Structures are given as structure tokens and as C-alpha cells.
Chains A and B, each alone.
Chain A
Amino acid sequence: MEVFVQQVINGITIGSLYGLIAIGYTMVFGIIGMVNFAHGDVFMVSAFFALIFLLVLTSWLGIASMTLALILVMVVAMVLTGLLVWAIERVAYAPLRGSFRLAPLISAIGMSIVLSNFIQVAQGPRNKPIPPVTRDVYTLWEGANGYPVNLSLKQIIIWVVTALLLAAFWYVVQKTALGRAQRACEQDRKMASLLGVNVDRTISLTFVIGAALAAVAGTLFLMYYGVVVFSDGFTPGVKAFTAAVLGGIGSLPGAVLGGLLIGLIETLWGQYVSADYQNVAAFSILVIVLIFMPQGLLGRPEVEKV
């Protein structure tokens, strides 16, 4: 029982990160019908932004307060990752609207390769460990066999930040002019543009918002695991995509739900079935969902238009 609760806590923590990344996939897919293959690597680059600014703040500027440093780092990572994705969208995706079906996907695959190899060249191929941001761990209760159920401060931070961000994000999508324009573009791009919505700008901003959420995930990832390496984008990227598909691609609550489910399935599988085959389980879910339930849990069935 204690083991199970502990793994659920861990699973929700990882799942929140997957959910944050998955929103980027699902929003972009909803609005232009494209799988942004480079999104996982954007997440990895954001973790590097966070790493570099954490070092700047702590070792160069000498900021001692970890809370302050963490907030600053998160904001800087969000801004820079947003800028990066804005540039990527302008250079690699925007010119391809109206090109043949696979062109944006191939371009995104190219971009993903560019990002991970650029980081490898610029920052070196080795693991980048940071000292733990906080070591605080709270023991919730101890089981009869002495097995404690722990909740670390890091996990609480991840839960709180994710919840706050999702609330803010939900507000943007539901209540602001930008969110309205986004939803309009999602339903019918041509009609939206006829009604005066700046479609190009809306699409760019959609990419930027997705990137900002991925940047938060990147910062939290760095804080939680305390290490990042240039190849870290691939597996979380595929898992977050799985989350988006599982929740129903195009559906925002679906992305979060899918993320949590993937996180839980992954940790519980690792605990009870086989730690070696943890990633195999996650990838298999992707395959199974796409084959048997392509519309996902909360998505609408897709109709192919000619």
C-alpha cells in the first residue's frame, strides 16, 4: 500500500511535466494539424536555458535565495524559449503552409535534429548536473513495515506551479481575445481570417504559448532530476506526444489528463512489472491508442476531408 501511494505521488509529478509538454503538441495540432516533432527538443533546450541562467544567477550574481532564483530562471527560460520557437516557426514552418502533406513534419524532424545536435556542439555531450535546489522531504506516514511515504518539496513545487499555470492558461484560452482567435482558427482558419483574425499571428502565438509551457516543464525537470543532457528531449517528447494522443489530440484537458495517466502508468509499470521495459510500456501505449482509439479519451473523431 505504501509503495503504491509513493509511486502514485511520483507518477503524478512526472505526469504533470508530461501534461505541460503535451499541451504544446495538442494546441499546435489543433490549430494547423501538424505534429510539431521538435517540441520535445524545445523542452530540452528550455532546460538548458534554465541551467545556464541558474548558474549565472548563483555563481556570477551571487543570489542566495533559491526561491527567487527559481522564479527568475523560470521567467527567463519562458521568454527565451518563446523567442526561440517564434524564430523556428517563422523560419521552418510558416513558409510551408500549403506545401505538400508531409512537408511540415519533415521540416520539424529536421529542426528536432538541429536543436539536439546544436546543443551537443555548443554545450558539450556530457551530463550537466546541478546541486539539489532543495532537500526538504516530508514524511506523510510510515507503514507497518517501516516503509515511509514521502512527499518532497520539489514535488509540491511541481504540483503547485503546474496547477497555477494550467489555471492561467485556461483563462487565456477561454476568456481573452487571443484565446478566442485561437479557437476560431482551430475551427476554420479561412473563415477566421475573413472575419479579421490575424491567422499568422495567432498561429505564431500558439507556438509561443506551447513553448512557454514546455519551458516551465523544462525548468521543473531540471530542478526535479538535477541533471540535463542534450538527448533529453527525445523520450519525454515522445511520451508527451503519447499523452496528447491518449487524451485526444486537440483537446486541452485531454492533454493534461493524458499526461497524468502516462506518468502513472509509467511509474506503476516500473514498480510492479519491469523497470527495464518502462519506456517500452509508454511507447506501446502510443501504438495501442493510435490503433484502437485514435480519437483518444476526450477528443473528437476525425473526419477526413477531401
Chain B
Amino acid sequence: MNSAVKSKDGAGIDFGRALKDGVLIGIVAFALLGPLVGLKTDQNMANELILQNRLGLAAILSVIIGVGRFLLSAFIYPWIAARGRRSKSAVTLAELEARARVTRGLSVTGLVFLFVYPVLIISLFGVQGSIKWVDNYGVQILIYVMLGWGLNIVIGLAGLLDLGYVAFYAVGAYSYALLAINFHLSFWVLLPVAGILAAFWGIILGFPVLRLRGDYLAIVTLAFGEIIRLVLINWKDFSGGSAGISSIPKVTLFGIYSFDMGASNSFIKAFHLSPSSAYYKVFLYYLILLLALLTAFITIRLRRLPIGRAWEALREDEVACRSLGINTTNTKLTAFAIGAMFGGFAGSFFAARQGFVSPESFIFMESAVIVAIVVLGGMGSMIGVALAAVAMIGGTELLRELDFLKLVFGKDFNPDQYRMLLFGLAMVIIMVWKPTGFVSARQPTAFLFKRKTVSGDLVKEGHG
């Protein structure tokens, strides 16, 4: 069969087949899009559903899909097949080292940029104009970078697909909100407390699901995430129900200065600055940056420890792992707990930044976004996850800015609607096309730098 395929490819492009494919897919697309896009259900004045005819739009979309399929069959698949035939040499050590150097260079530049970013923005847009860029872009993206890195420990390193990560985010947010309001504790005391509580919940939720296979584990974590959200909605005495908790205290500058305008130790009064919330935003930016870097630092160090190695071994093959004497229970639990802890940190930061938490912020879609970021970045790759977060979160924020899109797609074009659609599509495409991730692939962390000869007396029974 293989030779038949090859001879066909060799004979050039099979336009007839491609055309048939294209037309067939176009017809299928129209059969599906015709009703779903072409006939939009709308409510009229009497609150009755009526159909709005948009069959033209459906036809256009179907033609696009059909033509796309034709191009795929006619040009792209043969091209990929031709490329695949070229012999692929194995990756050499030198190449790996070169790649590692590029990654390192990228990380250093990125880091420097991140630290000067607020300064740059303030000098460009002024103090007041910087709020949008520092808060909407900087802080927002960094929260997702941190969540991505935290979940990366569970999914990327330990290979446990956790669909309820947002539960730990919620635990962190609610612990800060409730403890700060009821006991008037400061953010700096509650940050570790929130982390510990989230880690504790990670262990509680992780313990029962340890025996489960990958996909069962995913669904159970999803169920746990939903249970926590539903309890938050319904246990009104505890969490305020779906109304949430508001007026959560702000973060202070280590208790020395407050960012509340009216406070006696106000930061703005002490330094005789013009009143603006921009200073608080810049402070939050550096705070979340440091928290994210803490996550990265701890992850990188843990990867070099036996526990990190055990995580990666577990990801590759659980049975082999167990037969080599690794305690899979402890390995999975630590991954769950440490991942959850960073989720808790991010959660308490989120609560302090928003000043308001409600169960609405912790829906399953939020988990899905974080999972998508980890998957798109390449499970296990730190820099990939960070770049994916920038692309996905920053990208959708940017879409909102582009006014010419409104001219193309009409007045009520709202890119936010398409955000999750794009996330989902990207997840499917990445799994089909490049399961190691768009941005970057995970690389082996343990390999020999040079071949070593091992003398006979070291390999006798009972030794390595």
C-alpha cells in the first residue's frame, strides 16, 4: 500500500481527486452550516422565535471550506509528503545545545524587557495613559503566565491532565478575600496562607483520584472544580453566593505604605505624587511578575531534583515508573500540591487586584483557557507556555483594539466571542498537527554530555 501511495505522489498532483475532495467537503460543510449559520434563530417583538435567513453567509463559508480542502489535497499534503520523504537526521547534541542557547538568550531578553516594560510604557504614554497597558496587558497576561506555569507542573511535567485547576485559583482567591475581610490580615501574611490552603486542597482532591487513568482523572478533576464552584454559589453564608465578595483590601507596600488614597500612610501623599491609580497598577505588575518568576524558578529547580525527574518519568510511562520503584502516589501528590499552591498564590493576587471575587470568575472555561495555554505552548516547556499566554491573552486583548475589524465585520463585531472559538480550534489543530506544541517543544532535561566508558568493576551485580 505504501508503494502505491508513493507512486501516486511521484506522478504529480492529483487534481481530479483533490477537486472531488473539495466539492464533497464543501457540500458537507453546507449541509451543516446551512442550518446552524444560515438560519439564525432570533426573537421578534412578540418574543417568538423567528428565522433570519443568512444562507448566503453559510454558502460563502462552505465555499471557503471546500476551497481550503481542495488546496490541502492538491498542494499542501503532497508537499508535506514530499518533505517527509527526505531523510530526517537524528538531532545531534550540538543542535540541542544550540537550541538551548537560543532559549536561554530568549529568556534573558524577555526577562529584561519584562522588568523595564512599565518604565517604558510610562515614558511613552505618561502616568495616566499607562494604566491600560500595564493593567490590561501586563498584569492580565502575567496572571495567565503564572497559572500556565503552575498547571504546567501538573500537566506538562507529571502528565496528569487536570481540568479543575481553576478550583485552586478559587481557593486562593476566596481564602484571601475571606481572611482579609474577617480577620483584617495583610496580603503578605495571607499570600503564603492561601498557597498552603490551596496545596492542602490539592492533596485532598488529588488523593482519591490517584488510582485513576489519565482520562478518568481529567473528568474527576473537572467534577471537583465544578463542585467547588457550585458550593461557592450555594453556600451563601460562607461565600456570599453568586453575588460574590466585594471591597477586598488592596495590597500594601509591605505594610509601610498603603495604596488607598485616603489612608494616612498613603504612598501617593508620602512621595507627593499626583493622585492616580497607575502607581498601584505598576506595583501590582511587579508583584505578579515576581510571583510568576518565583513559580518558574521553583519549577526549574524542582526539575533537577529527584522529584522533578520522577514527574517526568511518570509522564512518560507510569507502569515503568512503578516497576523502577518510584512511589507514584507521592510523586503525583506533590505535583498536584505544588501546582495547586501556585494556583492559590495567583488566586489571592487576583482577589487583591480585582477587589471583588465571585464564582463567575471560576467557571470551567477558565480552566479550559489555562489548559489550552499549556497545551499550545508545548506541555512541559516553560518559555513555550509563557509565549502562548502572551499570544492568546494579549492577542485577544489586541483584537479588541483593532477598530478596522469593526468596519469589516460590522458594528457589533465583538472579538471576545471568538476568543474561546479560536482557543478550541487551536487546541484541536495543535493536537492533530504538532502535539508537542506550537511555540516550543519540551526537551529532555537529562542527557549525557559525552559518551563515557564504564569500567567493568562498576557494573558488576549490585552496582550501577
B-binding residues in A (CB < 8 A):
34-35, 45, 48-49, 51-53, 55-56, 59-60, 80, 83-84, 87, 91-92, 95-96, 99-107, 109-115, 117-124, 126, 128-131, 234, 238, 241-242, 245, 274, 276-277, 279-280, 283-284, 286-287, 290-291, 294, 302, 304, 306
Nearest CB of chain B from residue A220's CB, rounded to whole Å? 19
B218 touches A105 (CB 8 A): yes
- Selected from A48, A103, A110, A115, the residue in CB contact (under 8 A) with B372 is A110
Contacts beyond the supplied A55-B39, A123-B41, A294-B216: 5 A-B pairs with Cβ under 8 Å? A55-B51, A113-B368, A113-B372, A122-B37, A286-B220
A-binding residues in B (CB < 8 A):
28, 31-32, 35-37, 39-43, 47-51, 159, 161, 163, 208-209, 211-216, 218-220, 222-224, 226-227, 230-231, 234, 319-320, 364-365, 368, 371-372, 375, 417-418, 420-421, 423-428, 431-432, 435
- Selected from A45, A55, A103, A290, the residue in CB contact (under 8 A) with B49 is A55
Known: A106-B375, A106-B431, A111-B428. A294 touches B37 (CB 8 A): no
B428 touches A91 (CB 8 A): yes
A51 touches B211 (CB 8 A): no
Chain B residues with CB under 8 Å of A52's CB are 35-36, 39, 41, 51
Chain A residues with CB under 8 Å of B42's CB are 124
Q: Could you show 14 A-B contacts with beta carbons less than 8 Å apart?
A: A53-B35, A96-B432, A105-B214, A107-B431, A109-B163, A117-B424, A121-B417, A123-B41, A126-B43, A129-B47, A276-B234, A287-B220, A287-B227, A302-B213
Of chain B, the residue at the smallest CB distance from A101 is B214
A287 touches B161 (CB 8 A): no
Chain B residues with CB under 8 Å of A302's CB are 213
B425 touches A280 (CB 8 A): no
CA distance A105 to B375 in the complex (A): 12
Nearest CB of chain B from residue A41's CB, rounded to whole Å? 10
CA distance A123 to B50 in the complex (A): 12
Of chain B, the residue at the smallest CB distance from A110 is B427
CA distance A34 to B368 in the complex (A): 19
A283 touches B223 (CB 8 A): yes
B435 touches A124 (CB 8 A): no
Chain A residues with CB under 8 Å of B43's CB are 126
B223 touches A80 (CB 8 A): no
A234 touches B364 (CB 8 A): yes
Chain A residues with CB under 8 Å of B220's CB are 286-287, 290-291
Known: A35-B219, A92-B432, A119-B36. A113 touches B427 (CB 8 A): yes
A114 touches B39 (CB 8 A): no
A96 touches B431 (CB 8 A): yes
- Selected from B219, B372, B418, the residue in CB contact (under 8 A) with A241 is B219
Chain B residues with CB under 8 Å of A113's CB are 365, 368, 372, 420-421, 423-424, 427
Chain B residues with CB under 8 Å of A55's CB are 39, 41, 49-51
A35 touches B218 (CB 8 A): yes
CA distance A305 to B124 in the complex (A): 61
A280 touches B159 (CB 8 A): no
A80 touches B35 (CB 8 A): yes
CA distance A174 to B51 in the complex (A): 42
Chain B residues with CB under 8 Å of A101's CB are 159, 214
Nearest CB of chain B from residue A268's CB, rounded to whole Å? 18
CA distance A120 to B424 in the complex (A): 13
B417 touches A123 (CB 8 A): no
B36 touches A107 (CB 8 A): no
A107 touches B51 (CB 8 A): no
Chain B residues with CB under 8 Å of A102's CB are 159, 161, 214-215, 218
Known: A52-B51, A306-B319. A103 touches B230 (CB 8 A): no
- Selected from B209, B219, B319, B421, the residue in CB contact (under 8 A) with A304 is B319
Of chain A, the residue at the smallest CB distance from B231 is A280
Chain A residues with CB under 8 Å of B223's CB are 238, 242, 283-284, 286-287
Known: A35-B218, A117-B420. A107 touches B425 (CB 8 A): no
Known: A110-B427, A114-B421. A59 touches B51 (CB 8 A): yes
B161 touches A106 (CB 8 A): yes
Chain A residues with CB under 8 Å of B421's CB are 113-114, 117-118, 121
